[in-house]
Amino acid sequence: MLLAPAPSAPFGPKLAEISDGDVALASGLILVLGVVSIVTIPVSLALMLPGAAVVDPAGIGRLVFVVQFVPLLVGFAVTRVSSSAGNALYAPVQRLSDYSFGLPIVVLFAVYAGDMAALVGTGALLVAGVIVAASLLLGYAFGGPARSTREVLATTTAARNAAVALFIATSGFSDPGVLTAVLAFSTLGVVASALLAVVWR
């Protein structure tokens, strides 16, 4: 429920790059969905979980701004001021993005493996898998006529904004099971999207 209204995963452009898709579209989606989510997440959760979730719109806005907007805006600014500087920085920033994409997934598995393993047999992982698969299919189906845009919309739809969902889980819920479920679901979404992106490439 926390991940459903949380679009615009910061991984979108990286997944588009992996699949050799439309990176510009993925970056644009991050900006548009990030702005929209500051309003839609609190409203959606108020409707879906009335009184159950404490949502701080200002906190969500700060998180989206720092994690998603600042890196994109800095990249745009550097390229705009000096295309040669942008080209020179491309390779090291590319390596950094590779590490920042894979390292958190490895760390999450290492730290929360036991908690996530406890979800086996509860049906939670099955539900997560079905929802991730449906998200990939729906994103691809509604992605337009071009394959590159279909792939971007598919992976962007399935890979939810875990940072925002985790922020709400830790600030609005005392039950540690909520955090574990969000971690398991978001990890499954990112891993499935990344594997599919590799296949598409």
| CA-based R_g, the chain, Å | 17
Query: pTM for the whole thing?
Result: 0.75
What would the pLDDT profile of 72-99 be if each residue is shown by its tens digit? 788 888 888 888 887 788 778 777 766 7
Which H or E element spans position 22?
A: none
Q: What is the DSSP letter of 201?
A: -
Retrieve residue 16's tokens.
């588009």
Which CATH class for the 12-200 domain? mainly alpha
| Per-position b or e across 90-125, b if 16+ CB within 10 A of its CB | eeeeeeeeeeebeeeeeebeeebeeebeebeeeebb
pLDDT > 70: what percent of the chain? 93
Angle, vertex CA 126, rays to CA 124 and CA 129, nearest 5: 110
Looking at every residue in the chain, the average pLDDT score rounds to 82
CA distance 88 to 84: 6
Identify which has the larger pLDDT, 104 or 190: 190
CB atoms within 10 A of CB 9: 29
Q: Domain locations in the chain?
A: 12-200
Per residue in 129-168, pLDDT (tens digit) is 898 999 999 999 998 888 888 999 999 888 888 888 888 8
